A and B are shown apart, each in its own frame.
Chain A
Amino acid sequence: MDPTGYYAGIRPLPGARELTYFDLSTSGPTSEKHQNNIRDPVPGIFTPLPLHPDQFSAAIMQNPMHSVLPCKGQPEAVRFGRFASSLTGGMYTNTGYARHQKLGLATNHAMRLDGAIMPIAGSFDPGALNTLGTVK
């Protein structure tokens, strides 16, 4: 009989037995979840505790493990917010705006550069194709 469960509207599973005094003591390993096949007696017991929030923010609470900076600076120990780089490092040739060029920032994808080339007319009969070919 599980009066608490009954009052809460829980119907016992088939074959469940009534709690006895023995069920009030801890039995077996603590990791065992189901005590009596009825319900979780301690909901949330296995939910890990959240980290405790800092009582003070870093701005007002200095980490005591930090050392005082030496008077004579150590350049290699100082990290700046931005890596030093060449001012002209981003400059490179415009490319990609004519046939056979390597595609680049100058490429306009709305304009196809590798389309078919018009055949050249023959020198004897302009209605026939020239047999000497053309450059691809």
Chain B
Amino acid sequence: MSGVLPANVSFFMQRLQGVSVSHFKINPQGNDSASANKITRLELPSNSLLNLRNTRLFFNAQTVSQFGGIGRLPNDISSLIERVAIYMGGTLVQNNFQGYNVLCHAKAVVEGSKCNSVLGHPEIVRKTSYHNGADFTSTSETYDKLDEMFCIDNWEGLLGSLEPSIIDSGICPQITVEITWAENSVCPTISGTALSTGTDAAGTIDHANATPCTYTVTNISMQVEVLGMATSVLDQITEQRIASVGYLSLPFKNYFTYVSTHNQTSRFSVNSASWDRVWFVYRDTSYPNTAGAHVVPGHKIATATNTLTGEPTFDSGGVLDTNSEKYISKYFRMKQPNRSVTSVAATYQLQVNGASIPAYTLNASEFYAITKNSVDSFHHETKMTTGQYKDSYFVQCMRFCLPDSTYSRLASGLDTRSVSAQAALVTHGLTECNLTVIAECTSELRIGSGRAVEIIA
């Protein structure tokens, strides 16, 4: 009878004895500090059960003033990472795609931020640090104590999406994680720590200092969870699978980036066995310039009568949690481009191999609704407004695979191999902007006997 009764009235349990859990700390090859555009390489343990979902990168971060500028770290410490590549032996497994930090911010808009509020530097500090309580009124943000480290514990790409997430690294060649640090301009450089007045006044947080700050990261280490099991069942299953099929199939998310200055049509091509989604990130063409922090619309700025604490601008009471200070790095300010004709709404449409997707042109609202339904996420947006979306978080996503494919290890996206899909984003009524296109694909990592690997992109 136990088979027909639901779990909440049944008596059962399972037992797996002999499990051991531990953590390794890995130091980078070479220098354990880095600065903008530098590369850090870390080798994962080569003969143990790795829990890849629990891979954490720790480091201290400091911004350094240059000629009077005041440096600030960007919101979400993942912003400091430009690229993440993963090699197995000499084979590139996770594509070394550009704009890892842009993808993190884009996904945070639609799926909710996965930034750790304790260790992930989720907000920009104006004056007093919420991280260690220090007063940075006239100095750049600096955290150099070992117990003030930041941590990136959520990863896009292979580390965060490989299935199964616990793998025996003994069956594959040496796994190397290669991190390329972002350029300096991801960090805002402010001319002062006063509240914004909305007029780009000198001495306020949104006013840029002329000379950009730089940043450095120190004490870099990666920490991974390693497991041990007393049973050899997993080893036997692995051996049997390789003997009968020839290889193990491990799906993971792989990304490919195309950056262009968008003016009506931006073309790109994708060559993948399963092209699952495409992400469009719109930024001003001046996004990499030296800039102060950007105030998210609605949040507090100084008024004539209230210069110290300011007032929210979506009415003085601050609807939708706008009764607070909120800043983003202008490098990651995703903004709907201005309209060519102010009174005419812009339209968006995607073309893949000559087919229009969808068959009708979308306006920004319609595309946002599709975007929300294009991701496998249960994040329900309740605070972001249309105005904030268009001003600070303008991201679009289109799905080509079946919903929930990721959870079921299903590669159901477009197969564009042998023709390398010619795709284009076609817009009407927009002025020129920077466009970052990120193609999200399901790649298959095949591991055969003798540590042979293969990537089906």
Contact = CB atoms under 8 A, between A and B. Distances in A.
A122 B452 contact: yes
Given A97-B353, A98-B352, A131-B452, A117 B247 contact: no
Contacts of A131: 448, 452
Contacts of B415: 98-100
A97 B400 CA distance: 12
B354 interface: yes
Interface residues of B, number: 33
Contact of A98 (B173, B353, B356, B444): B353
A133 B454 CA distance: 8
A123 interface: yes
Nearest to B248: A132
Interface stretch (B119-127, B209-217, B416-424, B429-437): B416-424
Interface string A89-126: 00000101111100000101001111111101011100
B90 to A, nearest CB: 8
B409 interface: no
Given A98-B415, A98-B421, A132 B356 contact: no
A135 interface: yes
A97 B354 contact: yes
A108 B353 contact: yes
A130 B359 contact: no
A56 to B, nearest CB: 53
Contact of B453 (A94, A100, A123): A123
Looking at B88, B275, B455, the one whose CB has the most chain A CB atoms below 10 A away is B455
A120 B455 CA distance: 8
A134 interface: yes
B273 interface: yes
A112 B417 CA distance: 11
B418 A113 contact: yes
Contacts of B416: 98-99
Contact of A118 (B414, B418, B448, B455): B418
B446 interface: yes
B91 interface: yes
B289 to A, nearest CB: 39
B320 interface: no
B452 A123 contact: yes
B357 interface: yes
B448 A134 contact: no
Interface of B: 88-91, 173, 246-247, 273, 275, 352-357, 359, 414-419, 421-422, 444, 446, 448, 451-456
Given A113-B418, A133-B247, 18 more contacts: A94-B359, A98-B421, A99-B414, A99-B416, A100-B415, A106-B355, A108-B354, A111-B422, A114-B418, A115-B419, A116-B418, A123-B90, A124-B452, A130-B452, A131-B448, A131-B452, A132-B448, A135-B273
15 contacts: A94-B355, A97-B354, A98-B352, A98-B415, A98-B421, A99-B418, A108-B355, A111-B353, A111-B419, A116-B418, A117-B417, A120-B455, A122-B452, A133-B246, A134-B456
